[in-house]
Amino acid sequence: MSEWKEYRLGEVCTELSDGLHKAPIFKEGGDYIFVNAKNIANGFIVDNDPTKKSTYEEFLKYSSPLNDTTILYSIDGTIGNIALYRGEKCILGKGACYMNPNPQMLNRMYLYYELQSPRFKAYIDQMSTGSTIQHISLKTMRNYIFSCPPLSEQNRIASILSSLDDKIDLLNRENATLEGMAETLFRQWFIEEAKEDWEEGKLGDICDYVTEKINIGDIDKDSYITTENMCSNKQGIVKPSSIPENIKVTKYLMNDVLLSNIRPYFKKLWLSDRSGGCSNDVLCIRSKEKTYKFFTYYTLRQDEFFDYVMIGSKGSKMPRGDKQHIMNWPIQIPPKQILSQFNDLTSVSIEKIRENYKQISGLQITKEILLPKFMSNEINIK
């Protein structure tokens, strides 16, 4: 540890502050994302709310000094989300803390991983304030004390951990490509080339809501799905932050479609690859016949479906989809022979996607093991 030095975070950052403490003027179709805690996830700035977009004029008023050293960290409401700034057009809100490490002292990627370390997470848990809405002050961020090696060793540590993240990102992008190919096939077969003599029906003709309940203690904890831990990329989930005890939840099976029913414009949808349970805020939709299973999933993936759900949703601050309205969505039902062909073609992509997610899970576990050992000098990187 002789080469490692101790620093306060504020000492090794040229900038460490938060964003705007009021909302800018929003404009439909604006180019600039208003970034708060919920727009930061898994290393990226996420454009997930079309109602919170602003203009270049507002950006000029309220821009922050972001650059290629910048890291964003959520400090208000949802704490602990982290992202690398990649030149996105954005205006920061007060929920987003930004820090620009001094490149002569600290490798940006090394700091990125330090902020994910158990050491930093324990510090944040201890120093956060607020019972209902948690908050971390800028003073708390600046006063965080940590040890780190010389830049050359920081670079090597960051390179190893980044290689894991790069592989994860590559697999995620491959999955996005496979999903896009299957969705293109769906649109070509069932929308652009739909036949006039196909049966006119509604969503409820091919699928049902699942109402069967199961004790939460009877499912694997990683199979408990809530609207919060569903990914917003329409496929996959993350681990839940907490799990309630002694309640009954909706039981889902493999190839059921899970749909977040809160704020439908977030477009959270998952084709389950296992059995488990989901909260009341997640709708479990099951195809009535096997020939409908992938057709149902890609039918619900359409932006037109989410637009339809929003039209019939109830509530302004936290809109929820109306079940009867959802099941009345008008669709054309193709012949079962065509549906079987579609199942055969898309099943290959879906299986590959599921294999990739298993690899991603394994890489994430490897990273979780290595990261704290690197950041505490338990492994000699040399």
SS (H, E, C) the chain: CCCCEEEEHHHCEEEEEECECCCCCCCCCCCEEEECHHHEECEEECCCCCCCEECHHHHHHHCCCCCCCCEEEEEEEEEEEEEECCCCCEEEECCEEEEEECCCCCCHHHHHHHCCCHHHHHHHHHHCECCCCEECCHHHHHCCEEEECCHHHHHHHHHHHHHHHHHHHHHHHHHHHHHHHHHHHHHHHHHHCCCCCCEEEEHHHCEEECCCEEEHHHCCHHHEECCCCECCCCCCECCCCCCCCCCEEEEECCCCEEEECECHHHCCEEECCCCEEECCCEEEEEECCHHHHHHHHHHHHCHHHHHHHHHCCECCCCCECCHHHHHCCEEEECCHHHHHHHHHHHHHHHHHHHHHHHHHHHHHHHHHHHHHHHHCCCCCCC
pLDDT at 264: 81
pLDDT in tens, 89-102: 999 999 999 999 99
Q: Which residues of the chain have pLDDT under 70?
A: 1-2, 231-242, 382
36 close to 94: Cβ distance less than 8 angstroms: yes
pLDDT at 234: 45
Strand partners for 93:
20
> Where are the chain's structural domains?
5-148, 199-333
**How many CB atoms neighbour CB 239 within 10 A?**
11
Fold match between 5-148 and 199-333? yes
pLDDT at 240: 58
pLDDT at 248: 92
pLDDT at 104: 96
Its pTM surpasses 0.85: no
Q: Which amino acid is at 98?
A: Y
Phi, psi of 33 (to 5 degrees): -75, 135
pLDDT at 60: 95
pLDDT at 221: 81
* Multiple choice CATH, 5-148, 3.30.470.10, 3.30.300.130, 3.40.50.970, 3.90.220.20: 3.90.220.20
pLDDT at 382: 66
Spell out the CATH class of 199-333: alpha beta
